[in-house]
Amino acid sequence: MAKKNPLIRPLVHDLHAYVPGEQPKIKGLIKLNTNENPYPPSPKVQAAVKAAVDDRLRLYPNPTAEKLRAKLAKLHGCKPENIIIGNGSDEALALAVRAFVEPKQGAKNKAQATVQYFTPSYSLYPVLADTHGAAKNAVPLKADFGLPSVAELKRGKKWNFNAALTLVTTPNAPSGRGYKTSELEKRCRAQKGVIILDEAYVDFANENALKIAFKFPHVLVARTFSKAYSLCFQRVGYFVGNEELIAALDKIRDSYNVNGLGQIAAEATLDDLKFYRANFKKIIATRGWLARELTKIGFRVLPSQTNFILAKPPLFPAKDWLQKLREQKVLVRWFSAPDVNEYLRITIGTPAEAAALAGAARKILSLAD
């Protein structure tokens, strides 16, 4: 490791930053690696953003994203005070770690300083814990990526029912597995600290867990406009839940954390939900098609309730498949973590992109014969 620069905090020096999926500059590459939506935002959203590019750019945006919160409150049947907007849900997650978790130094007990999550799940969670100097408690999901029951968590002795903050990706990423609201509710009921149900992919699932956030004072639901609403570029995400928890997060956020064009884009999105619901249907249909095609040629495809699939490829290690597909101009994602390194995570693109992926996979297999 490089010599430590004394100007930098040791914690930061030693930190492993989050590794985002590649945003390649190669022309003609089919990009199925970061779970972006293959369909552009609605024409009305694009028009609203364009129309807002005028003299207003010199002004600060609304500091509390007031209009957007009002629209979301109406959509979810709650008050604006139950909602906080973040510069992407990533920012909101970072705020939650800062608001609810003590750094290890200065904590009275381990639980107070603990960020807890299942593995595999969103690889940002450990980075957020490390950045804050918090303790991490990573507890494995079951072999089929199902949630351990409360009894199993107790028996396993690793789970901390008092952890200051527990983050649950539901549906799970990177496995794509969905969880029933009833099973999530049982886990939440048994938990003392704050739980965030990270529903980044929930629009592609059968169920959402919003009602749990309204039922319990210690449960928040995280949502984002990035994946389902084709707005990764604009960085808008939010939490829904208990007013006091939301107010605590609100205290520590930057004054103008959500940029003005992002607010406008998200508001216009909520005015055109029909457009997006049609896209969800298309993506879910393509997901089914791709799973069947890949299964035919020897992939083991896990059931998915998201806009991606996790699939174990035949013949070669998954890491080699990543390279071979890239040579065929298709980019997918591979994670080195031992619980998923035999799989590829493939974002559901348009039908043409999915067909190109299936075609590339067939070609790779035929060349190997």
Ligand X SMILES: *Cc1c(COP(=O)(O)O)cnc(C)c1O
Residues paired with 128 in a beta bridge: none
Q: What is the smallest separation between the CB atom of 237 and ligand X, expressed in angstroms?
A: 3
Q: What is the smallest separation between the CB atom of 77 and ligand X, expressed in angstroms?
A: 22
Query: What are the angstrom distances between the C-alpha of 335 and each of 16, 28, 33, 180?
Result: 15, 24, 11, 26
Which residue type sits at 301?
V
Q: Two tokens at 96?
A: 């939650």
Residue 178: DSSP 8-state:
-
Site residues, ligand X (CB under 6 A): 88-90, 122, 169, 173, 198, 200, 224, 226-227, 232, 237
Q: What is the smallest separation between the CB atom of 298 and ligand X, expressed in angstroms?
A: 28
| Residue (198 or 293) nearer to ligand X, CB | 198
| Residue (36 or 293) nearer to ligand X, CB | 36
Q: What is the smallest separation between the CB atom of 58 and ligand X, expressed in angstroms?
A: 27
Question: Strands, E, within 74-164: which ranges?
Answer: 83-86, 114-119, 135-140
| Residue (176 or 358) nearer to ligand X, CB | 176
What string of DSSP letters covers 211-252? HHHHH-TTEEEEEESSTTTT-GGG--EEEEE-HHHHHHHHHH
Q: What is the smallest separation between the CB atom of 91 and ligand X, expressed in angstroms?
A: 7
| Residue (88 or 126) nearer to ligand X, CB | 88
| Residue (68 or 173) nearer to ligand X, CB | 173
The residue whose Cβ lies closest to ligand X is 88
Q: What is the smallest separation between the CB atom of 312 and ligand X, expressed in angstroms?
A: 21
140: three-class secondary structure by DSSP: strand
- Give the residue carrying structure tokens 């994946």: 227
- Give the residue carrying structure tokens 């390279």: 323
Helix (H) or strand (E) run with residue 282 in it: helix 273-296
Q: How far apart are CA 310 and CA 303, in angstroms?
A: 8
Q: What is the smallest separation between the CB atom of 185 and ligand X, expressed in angstroms?
A: 20
Residues paired with 84 in a beta bridge: 239
| Residue (148 or 174) nearer to ligand X, CB | 174
| Residue (140 or 156) nearer to ligand X, CB | 140
Q: Do residues 127 and 121 touch, judged by C-beta distance below 8 A?
A: no
Q: How many CB atoms lie within 10 A of CB 176?
A: 27
| Residue (193 or 237) nearer to ligand X, CB | 237
| Residue (109 or 206) nearer to ligand X, CB | 206
Q: How far apart are CA 323 and CA 83, in angstroms?
A: 42
Q: What is the smallest separation between the CB atom of 316 and ligand X, expressed in angstroms?
A: 27
Q: How far apart are CA 254 and CA 235, in angstroms?
A: 15
Sort residue 327 into left (φ over 0), alpha (ψ -120 to 50) or beta.
alpha
**Which residues lie below 8 Å from residue 287, measured CB to CB, with a gap of 6+?**
204, 304, 307, 309, 348
Q: What is the smallest separation between the CB atom of 226 and ligand X, expressed in angstroms?
A: 3
